[in-house]
Amino acid sequence: MPAVMRAAAAAERAGVPAVAIGGSGFEPMGRAIGKSLGIPHVPIVSYPGVILTDETDVFRGKMREIVAPAVVDALTSTYAAEETASEVEPGPRDVVVRGDLDAVLAAFEEQGWTDGLPIVPPTVERVEEFLRHTRRDPDEVLGMLPPDLREATVWSVAVNGVMAGCRPEYLPVLLGIVECAAAPEFRVQDAGSTPGWESLIVLSGPVVERLGFNSRTGVLRVGNRANTSVGRFLRLYLRNLAGLRILPEHTDQGAIGASFHVVLAENDAAVRELGWPSHREDLGFAAEDSVVSVRSCLTVSAPIYTGGDSVLDHVEPLALVFGNAMGPWSYTGMEFGAWHPLLVLGPSIAAALARHGYDKPALRRYLAEHMLISVKELERCAWAVGSTSFRVSSLVERGELDRRYAGDDPGRLVPMCPRAADIAIVLAGNEGRNQSRGYVQNHVQGVPVSRRIET
């Protein structure tokens, strides 16, 4: 629906009346996006059912008998500007409820201001305590968050940080996170798309140890306050400020969806011991910087256990299991020209690779050369998701994929990652175990965005 509404907006701006056609249940998302694009008047016609699970004859019948007449009616009817009672939202410092904890929780839940979990009441005093940890003006605008088009302010960051259970000293990290999510290239407006991707926060630098983030055993497990509350904060903020909600509003259309990720913190001690560059240095920041990155995470690999006497004993399983997680979804990276998979490499595995003379660039090259998939499988998956015109050969002809992807045999194997340098590697996890994991990002939706953290 986001892409459909953007196309409708382009048509309307060109003076061509538009009608948006989408699947049933997408109307609330379409209206929210239409409002953010300045086309709230564009009618939305819903296909009754699921297009790709209807047989061809059924699909054609519905289009002929239901959808086409509705489109004609929408294009030939005159619509009055929709009158909606604009609900006045409370001001930043307004007291919205008084009472005990149960009363506060009940009021916030009724208003839809929670994520389904109990919150810490964001009293003015608690919010002001957060603000002591930044030099920035509370009313400073960090960006605009669609689809609800609310301003992301320093004050609202502090409010939601309180609600999520963060400590006041986490505020500089929270501000960096929101700056990442509000960046246009992150495309927060697509965070409610049907694949149901969830944001993943990666933290690298001295701030990890200073604020008590866990980078070792259970690094991505709920349990450590810093990792957990900061991870929860972003999901809560996208709900309350961007307006991405599941039922009943339905502006978040994740078909199945996922829960928030706790913060992935890099193990700086392991990085220093190996002499490898840190994740922040890979991104072009200085070693002394503290850096937060936010990226989409569509899926997670199975645990990748490796061991043996040779480098192949480690890199072969990494390529196999990580590649299995990417699988046919890697077509999206080729179609949209954006693909940034992330490998969380166990420190013991990194040390073993280093003993064999492997560094990060060597590991990236191996993975890019050995994570392969057939063209037939790529194109089959693209069709099932709705990209029915996706063809690897067409991308080669247009120069968007190189000659490694050329050929006529649909069974030919091609790399899942066109560019080895786009594979991110972060050292984290149990130092006494031989486990790694892969995290798969969602093309141009939620590309990795990074910001230096205020100190």
Q: Over the stretch 28-39, which tens digit does the pLDDT of each residue have?
A: 777 777 877 888
Q: 5-19, 165-179, 367-381, 407-421: which range is least confident on average?
A: 5-19
The structure tokens 């061509």 sit at: 16
Under the phi-then-psi rule, with left for phi > 0, alpha for psi from -120 to 50, and beta for the rest, what region is 399?
left
Q: What are 207-259's pLDDT values in tens digits?
A: 999 999 999 999 999 999 999 999 999 999 999 999 998 877 678 888 899 89
Q: pLDDT above 90 covers what percent of the chain? A: 75
The structure tokens 């239901």 sit at: 66
Give the Cα separation of 95 and 126 in Å (integer): 13
Q: 188-202, 220-234, 394-408, 412-426: which range is least confident on average?
A: 188-202
User: Which pLDDT score, from 0 to 100, does residue 83 have?
Assistant: 47
Which residue, 282, 294, 293, 264, is CA-closest to 429?
264
Q: What are 145-200's pLDDT values in tens digits?
A: 988 889 999 999 999 999 999 999 999 999 999 999 999 999 998 898 888 899 99
Query: Which is higher by pLDDT, 233 or 96?
Result: 233
User: Which pLDDT score, from 0 to 100, does residue 277 have?
Assistant: 97
Cα–Cα distance list, 442 to 212, 233, 255, 261, 337 (Å)? 30, 21, 15, 15, 11
Cα–Cα distance list, 333 to 76, 299, 336, 366, 390 (Å)? 40, 14, 5, 18, 12
pLDDT of 1 > 80? The answer is: no
User: Which pLDDT score, from 0 to 100, does residue 87 have?
Assistant: 67
Provide mean pLDDT across the span 381-405. Answer: 94
User: Which pLDDT score, from 0 to 100, does residue 118 have?
Assistant: 96
User: Which pLDDT score, from 0 to 100, does residue 386 have?
Assistant: 87
Query: Which is higher by pLDDT, 231 or 81?
Result: 231
pTM assigned to the model: 0.90
Which residue, 414, 412, 304, 411, is CA-closest to 363?
304
Return the DSSP state at 257: -
Cα–Cα distance list, 238 to 197, 199, 200, 265, 280 (Å)? 13, 10, 13, 21, 25
pLDDT band per the 50, 70, 90 thresholds, residue 80: low
Q: Give the Cα-Cα-Cα angle 115, 121, 127 (nearest 5 degrees).
A: 110
